Structure 1
Amino acid sequence: MMIGTIPTCFGNFTAIVMHEDKGLWDYHTSENPYVHYDKDSYGENVQVYVKEIELEYTSTLRFLYSIDLSGNNFFGEIPEELMNLSGLQNLNLSGNKLDGKIPRNIGKLKSLESLDLSKNDFSGSIPSSISDLNFLSYLNLSFNHLSGRIPLGNQLQTLDDKSIYIGNNGLCGFPLNNCSEDVDELPKGHEKVGNMRTDDSKMLWFYSGLGMGFVTGFVGVCSILYFKDSWRYVCFQLADRVYNKIWVTVAIKANQLKKKFHINKFEGNA
């Protein structure tokens, strides 16, 4: 087990920086801190943990660029120099005591397919540049102290497993979907304007459809009554009945109120 800070010289691995097929650098918890496998040494069989799966590499070793420092006692921040390893495919720093923030330029690791930073003490927000990792198919940021909204975009949208972010009580957004307000995803100064424009557009379409529906229905009924004599007579008769019924009802109520008024006035004079 190794202890201390991650050496900044790790960023000088020329084979990983230059994408050259010079072999595999895999740092792990073995007796030897690091081992370099030459591209012609096909007789070697090496087990490597990638995406939480133990894989055995033989003749394909020279195509894998991996740094695995998991399960040690490394502390401090991730060196910025590691972000120069543009050919790195697997970075596993889980199970250490690393702290600080995830490097904001982590998106420079363009070839990264697997990233495991779980079980550390990282804090702050997840850098938005992480969405630039177009080949990322495995991500684990669980059990840290991360907070803020989870970035959106590109390959990151396909990683919809909530366990990726478990143990970070301050995180929200997809796939957790526990943010109180969604307007934070919009640029500042445009949240309310954008919402108002959307609402106005919806209301405009609603009233336009309502008006067109009323006009269509009215024209349809008038057309039927104009060309269909029997329907027109029935409609007018119904209107007369309704009108007469309302008139009679109103007249009766008016007479009742008038009689009641005279009775109350007579009793008052008496």
Structure 2
Amino acid sequence: MSVRRPYMYSDLTWPEIRDAIERQPVVILPVGTVEQHGHHLPLDTDNFLIGSVTEEVGRRAPDDALVMPVVPYGFNWHHIDFPGTIGIDVANLINYLGDITRSLAYHGFERILLVSGHGSNTALLDLVARKTVIETGALCASFMYLNIVRGEVNEIVESPISHACEWETSLYLHFDRDRVQMDSAVRDYNIPESQFFRRAVNSPVAMMEWWSSFSDTGVVGDASLATLEKGSDIFDVTIDRFVELVREFRRREKRPRRDHHRPPFFGPEDEGAQR
């Protein structure tokens, strides 16, 4: 028998959603992707991890969060040389996500949090969040869930954080070790770096080349160092910080905009009318 989850958007009836609007929780929209993650992780890695993390956030903070189903596809055409990857056009994805946030705002939700489970979705989610604020008046923010704990995770792992790496593999082990093929986990890190071009998120210049041009396995990092214990530590710090963010966002004041333009002037007739 399944357990009812009042913090999961799709588990509720429409009258229950109407009641939830009155308490104004933060609506969390996780966005993942279906793509290759090396020889050792399934294609569902981004969806599974972001879905598991956001559901736990809802469970820990049911009064503050309402978690939507994972949007399972994203922008990842640079991975398309690896069989199984499913890519979505940028404009299609932005419009699709915008339809979701506009629907939420129409119902009356005032705080929407877009959470990227895939690095290349992050910039697109930022655009969607900005458009949502402008078009609906709701507060809408976005982030990549790793970024709020990157410092802490760097202290847990022994190798650089990237893709299908020690970080992602360890976190997957925490949730479901039986689906990780650790005997196929490898170290693969062959990206040329320089003063201006680095794999790190703080690279002065951003460029995404075809993934197959620098990785034979699909991995960038050292997945062989992953352990369940590291994954559990990563899980703990991630959930704690995520819950902290949600509660802060829910308390954040929604301040009115101020239009500093003078009254519109459309021509001589309007000028005379104003006088």
- For normalisation by structure 1, the TM-score amounts to 0.24
Higher helix share goes to which structure?
A: 2
Larger strand percent: 1
Structure with the bigger RCO (C-alpha within 8 Å, sep 6+) is 2
TM-score when normalising by structure 2 = 0.23
Give 1 or 2 for the bigger CA radius of gyration.
1
